[in-house]
Amino acid sequence: MSGAALVAIAASIGNLLQGWDNATIAGAVLYIKKEFKLESEPTVEGLIVAMSLIGATIITTFSGPVSDWIGRRPMLILSSILYFLSSLIMLWSPNVYVLLLARLIDGFGIGLAVTLVPLYISETAPSEIRGLLNTLPQFSGSGGMFLSYCMVFGMSLLPSPDWRIMLGVLAIPSLFFFGLTIFYLPESPRWLVSKGRMAEAKKVLQKLRGREDVSGEMALLVEGLEVGADTSIEEYIIGPAIEPADEHVVDGDKDQITLYGPEEGQSWIARPSKGPSILGSVLSLTSRHGSMVNQSVPLMDPIVTLFGSVHENMPHAGGSMRSTLFPNFGSMFSVTDQHPKVDQWDEENLHRDDEEYASDGAGGDYEDNVHSPLLSRQTTSAEGKDIAHHAHRGSALSMRRRSLLEEGGEAVSSTGIGGGWQLAWKWSEREGEDGKKEGGFKRIYLHQEEVPGSRRGSVISLPGGGDAPEGSEFIHAAALVSQPALYSKDIIEQRMSGPAMIHPSEAAAKGSSWKDLFEPGVRRALLVGVGIQILQQFAGINGVLYYTPQILEQAGVAVLLSNLGLSSASASILISSLTTLLMLPSIGLAMRLMDISGRRFLLLGTIPVLIASLVVLVVSNVIDLGTVAHAALSTISVIIYFCCFVMGFGPIPNILCAEIFPTRVRGICIAICALTFWIGDIIVTYSLPVMLNAIGLAGVFGIYAVVCSIAFVFVFLKVPETKGMPLEVITEFFAVGAKQMQATKA
């Protein structure tokens, strides 16, 4: 995981540059307005600061779709170039108009970084530490602000501070960021898979994870190309398939199922569980009875309950995340056979020289593996069944998919895809309208469930009729069962054949379209993403930042600093730097808790503190408490507000927006959320002076407190907990929950 952590740190430099720029312009504008004589032109002065917001808003409108088209990495490279170019123009700036142009270009760089860095980190980070790594942009941004304030403060002590140098220094870290994006940052493996570039995606994953075996995650990324249709929740008792799968089938035992892993030779047996299911019970009432009942909170979104059931009912045992959830999977999914290496299943391979494959391929198998279809599109359903029931010959999917997923020559210890989830497939068969048997593959996301209290100490019924005590190699698991991304019903209908698999490049060729945004799961996720971005902006952070220097001045800090011989400008900059410094330990604590306590917990824990801080600010401005008491209460409230904001409402909206959308529309959706962020930022920034004149400071903070209260209710009812879950599983949960709710209303 060190590879993913270093990549996340490097990518978050883009946010460091944003924080650096925000702090630098706040200090430099004090000197800019003197040189250009803008004291009587507040509009121009405001434009100099706000031009970057305008630029960020403009570029965000198309940054998502373009990143889906050309990739995440090229957009980060472009961001670094725009940062560097704008800093050079600001260093030159002969007049205010050139400065405004430079600030606009700078906003373009900021918009790309703020939009795409969280998305990039989410797509490269392991699910177990994704929250921690995606809090890095918040830490980097605040760290950049602090470093910039220190630089500006030092320059403000000079006899004649030069604002051009203050702004131009941005060229140094932006050049460093450019070097990282060119020579170090890889492309997102999920984006590579979405374009059918499987070989590159595998190499990137191996670098990020620091291991050769990435077959399970590669399979997950392929399945992420499409959110499954007709997803259902089932429960299984699962055990190892020691013998060939067909020898395990008991005559008349129609319930027994053979599950297949992403590697050739991986299989295990399962039988639908007749006992109670903890995960399945959340949606089983909907799927079985058509209505959602027995909700503990009447207005709570069932999707929130569904996500919560995963985290509340994990098996409580020691060890790592994977070993805690699947303590027996190491032996259950082990592969004893050694398999020769075969070629990467990659459309790009068709254009490379044969010599390039000498070390990767299996000689004579090369042409067959690359040019043959994944499964014969002319096989009958009966033949497909025969394939599916012979695990010793390899899983049905791996007959042609193995070139994509296999790590030749090495035993595979697990099919884990992160957060205790496992990926598998099964072959299902039913009779069609004409009486003929029809079959198809089903994708399964497995998650072990803790045995309910009523069943503890008892035995678990095994496939084949036997019993095994708890702690054996048979486990109870919930399963999200749906159609796999590479299984095409259209091909079956057109060719009247059995199991049909398509190349990922064919699935990727469909690309994303705006109509995908109207799918139930995507719509539900957009509601969460856009809603939390709006509430974040109107929660008062800009107003409190605006008022902080005045509060600290009332507390006597400015007087103390002026007694030390500092000018008013230097004192203001130093106060801002101290305020920023207070944020860093809080962000560090949030990084530690993000994947332990979770996003939802941090939001629900910090928003009430924000409300209390704002209420204290309102009271201290309405009631005459005396100068000392007023200053003390205001200062403490502001510090607490900042610390709690950067722990919850600061980083989490961007983290959630980078997690909850399917791969094919993730860029578009996160751009919509980012556009909401920037528009809200502009509205709040420009409405603040007007509101201060109209309703006063107490009224402004009172409105912010009301918004925070609304935000608490929204988070409690609508925002699910996503910690530790693979991105593809998160989007599958949104899809199944939204479709069940839609069916219930219908």
Domain 512-742 listed as CATH 3.40.50.10860: no
Are residues 452 and 278 in contact, defined by beta-carbon separation less than 8 angstroms? yes
pLDDT tens-digit map of 473-499: 677 788 888 888 766 555 444 443 344
Q: How far apart are CA 320 and CA 220, in angstroms?
A: 21
The pLDDT score that the predictor gives to residue 323 is 35
Checking if the pLDDT of 378 tops 60, the result is no
Checking if the pLDDT of 363 tops 70, the result is no
Are residues 439 and 428 in contact, defined by beta-carbon separation less than 8 angstroms? yes
The pLDDT score that the predictor gives to residue 281 is 57
Compute the average pLDDT of residues 107-129. Answer: 95
Contact residues for 633 (Cβ-Cβ < 8 A; gap 6+) = 616, 617, 619, 620, 625
Q: How far apart are CA 287 and CA 361, in angstroms?
A: 46
Question: What percentage of the chain carries pLDDT values higher than 70?
Answer: 69
The pLDDT score that the predictor gives to residue 401 is 37
* Phi, psi of 344, deg, nearest 5: -65, 140
pLDDT tens-digit map of 311-351: 765 554 333 333 333 333 333 333 333 333 334 444 444 44
Q: Which residues pair with 169 in a beta bridge?
A: none
Question: What percentage of the chain carries pLDDT values higher than 90?
Answer: 37
Q: What is the dihedral of CA 34, 37, 38, 41, to 10 degrees?
A: 160
> 1-184 — its CATH code?
1.20.1250.20
Compute the average pLDDT of residues 85-107. Answer: 95
Q: How far apart are CA 62 and CA 523, in angstroms?
A: 19
> DSSP of 303-331, one letter per residue?
HHHHHHHHHHT----SS-HHHHH-TTHHH
Contact residues for 311 (Cβ-Cβ < 8 A; gap 6+) = 598, 721, 723, 724
pTM for this predicted structure: 0.82
Containing 257, the helix (H) or strand (E) segment is strand 257-260
If you average pLDDT over every residue of the chain, what do you get?
76
Higher model confidence: residue 707 or residue 629? 707
Give the relative orientation of helices 666-718 and 42-70 as an angle to the nearest 10 degrees.
Answer: 110
Checking if the pLDDT of 397 tops 70, the result is no
Cα–Cα nearest to 629, from 567, 555, 681, 682: 555
The pLDDT score that the predictor gives to residue 433 is 63
The pLDDT score that the predictor gives to residue 277 is 55
Cα–Cα nearest to 17, from 122, 111, 120, 132: 111
The pLDDT score that the predictor gives to residue 27 is 84
Burial 249-270 (b: 16+ CB within 10 A, else e): beeeeeebbbbbbbbbbbbbbb
* Phi, psi of 489, deg, nearest 5: -70, -30
Q: Which ranges in 422-479 belong to alpha helices (H)?
A: none
Contact residues for 538 (Cβ-Cβ < 8 A; gap 6+) = 680, 684, 704, 707
The pLDDT score that the predictor gives to residue 276 is 53
Checking if the pLDDT of 533 tops 90, the result is yes
Q: Given the structure tokens 């055990």, which residue do they identify?
A: 239
Q: How far apart are CA 195 and CA 188, in angstroms?
A: 11
User: Model confidence at 215, in pLDDT bands (50, 70, 90)?
Assistant: confident
pLDDT tens-digit map of 655-685: 999 999 998 889 999 999 999 999 998 888 8
Q: How far apart are CA 614 and CA 621, in angstroms?
A: 11
Compute the average pLDDT of residues 76-84. Answer: 97
Compute the average pLDDT of residues 493-522. Answer: 59
Q: Could you tell me where in the chain the CATH 1.20.1250.20 domains are found? A: 1-184, 512-742
Checking if the pLDDT of 137 tops 90, the result is yes
- Angle at Cα 400 formed by Cα 395 and Cα 402, nearest 5°? 65
pLDDT tens-digit map of 428-474: 666 656 666 656 678 888 887 765 444 443 334 444 444 444 445 67
Higher model confidence: residue 134 or residue 419? 134
pLDDT tens-digit map of 709-729: 999 999 999 999 999 999 999
Higher model confidence: residue 129 or residue 628? 129
Checking if the pLDDT of 122 tops 90, the result is yes
The pLDDT score that the predictor gives to residue 436 is 64
Compute the average pLDDT of residues 154-169. Answer: 92
Give the relative orientation of helices 13-35 and 568-593 as an angle to the nearest 10 degrees.
Answer: 170
Written as six digits, the tokens of 408 are: 């030749």
The pLDDT score that the predictor gives to residue 332 is 36
User: Model confidence at 85, in pLDDT bands (50, 70, 90)?
Assistant: very high
Q: How far apart are CA 742 and CA 77, in angstroms?
A: 42
* Phi, psi of 361, deg, nearest 5: -105, 175
Contact residues for 309 (Cβ-Cβ < 8 A; gap 6+) = 278, 279, 281, 282
Q: How far apart are CA 389 and CA 393, in angstroms?
A: 9
User: Model confidence at 300, in pLDDT bands (50, 70, 90)?
Assistant: confident
SS3 728: helix
Q: Which of 263-267, 506-510, 624-628 has the lowest mean pLDDT?
A: 506-510
Written as six digits, the tokens of 130 are: 């994704």
Q: Which of 166-175, 496-505, 614-623 has the lowest mean pLDDT?
A: 496-505
HSE-CB at 490 with a 13 A cutoff on CA atoms is 5
Q: How far apart are CA 299 and CA 266, in angstroms?
A: 43
Strand-pair category, 475-482 with 232-240: antiparallel
Q: Which of 5-9, 155-159, 265-269, 390-394 has the lowest mean pLDDT?
A: 390-394
Checking if the pLDDT of 108 tops 80, the result is yes
pLDDT tens-digit map of 563-621: 777 777 777 788 788 888 989 999 999 999 999 999 999 999 999 999 999 999 899 88
Compute the average pLDDT of residues 727-732. Answer: 92
> DSSP of 582-651, one letter per residue?
HHHHHHHHHHHHTTTT-HHHHHHHHHHHHHHHHHHHHHHHHS---HHHHHHHHHHHHHHHHHHHHHTTTT
Checking if the pLDDT of 184 tops 60, the result is yes
